[in-house]
Amino acid sequence: MSKQYRPVRSVLLAILAIVSHLVPARPRMTVLVYHGITSGTDFFAVKPKEFERQLEHLTKRYTVVPLERAFRHAAGEPATEDSVALTFDDGYKNFLTDAVPLLCAHNAPATVFVLSGTPGAADIGNDAPLLATEDFASVASSTIGVGSHGETHKKLAKLSYEEALREMRDSKRVIETQYGVPVRYLAYPKGSYNAQTMQAAERAGYKGAVSVVERSVKVGDLAYALPRVQIDASTSLADFKAKLTPAADWYYWLWSTFKRH
């Protein structure tokens, strides 16, 4: 979203959040997507202090669950209380240095989606260091899961079926064999996917995949296109709280309608 619309987003989210509290709702399942946790200036990064404030809100008001629980919700096992799953794309080293200590302090499970290859700065959009092989013994645990984000951050929907299948298979194999961690889920690089990509992801051996369609998870959602809500440097604490309510679904529906027209 361009900067000129961000104040409008915040005001609209706040209004919709107030209205949402007046509407009876079933327990919600929301998957959040982060990228870096750092004090840098990257738009997609969240500062550690902000991330800590967000975690404090989550652990007080919601049940923080492993990503697998969100897939079970979509498959027909609805959450019995408002729940949130945390995911991190790209696999930056600051996930280990800045995010993991806070996640552990708050007993919050999470999944980090890593790249099996070595993308260039142009492919990934920055030159922040990524997790190395030796980091995985410190990252993977009973509460931190590891998924695939492809090899080199290519848009999978722009590749041929065979190219996309090879990239997804190779990435899964490399992460599992070199890093010694099981890989069940895929995050589409740059949110790029289509029907062909979803078929290839299943054939490559993944149990599911996450997208960047911004809304909560509904019962009946496709296992290979699970929606996630983005949290970035522009997300104030008020915005963050609103994104966990039905206001988020309403807002993103209005926004997509506005863009279409």
Identify the structural domains of the chain with CATH numbers, from first to last.
26-260 (3.20.20.370)
CB atoms closer than 10 angstroms to residue 220 = 9
The pTM of the full predicted model, rounded to 2 decimals, is 0.89
Quote the pLDDT of residue 5: 53
Using the predicted structure, report yes or no on whether residue 3 has a pLDDT greater than 60.
Answer: no
| Residue 4: pLDDT band with limits 50, 70, 90 | very low
Average pLDDT over residues 192-214: 97
45-79 per-position pLDDT tens digit: 999 999 999 999 999 999 999 999 999 999 999 99
Compute CA 243 distance to the chain's CA centroid, rounded to the nearest angstrom. Answer: 14
Quote the pLDDT of residue 66: 98
Which range has the worst mean pLDDT, 19-23, 126-130, 147-151?
Answer: 19-23
Exposure string of 131-151, with b = 16+ CB inside 10 Å and e = fewer, is beeebbeebbeeebbbbbbbb
Using the predicted structure, report yes or no on whether residue 1 has a pLDDT greater than 50.
Answer: no
> Minimal CA–CA distance to 106: which of 61, 35, 34, 58?
58
Quote the pLDDT of residue 259: 63
Quote the pLDDT of residue 139: 85
- Distance between CA 87 and CA 193 in Å, rounded? 18
DSSP per position, 120-169? -HHHHSS-PPBPPGGGHHHH-SSSEEEEE--SS---GGGS-HHHHHHHHH
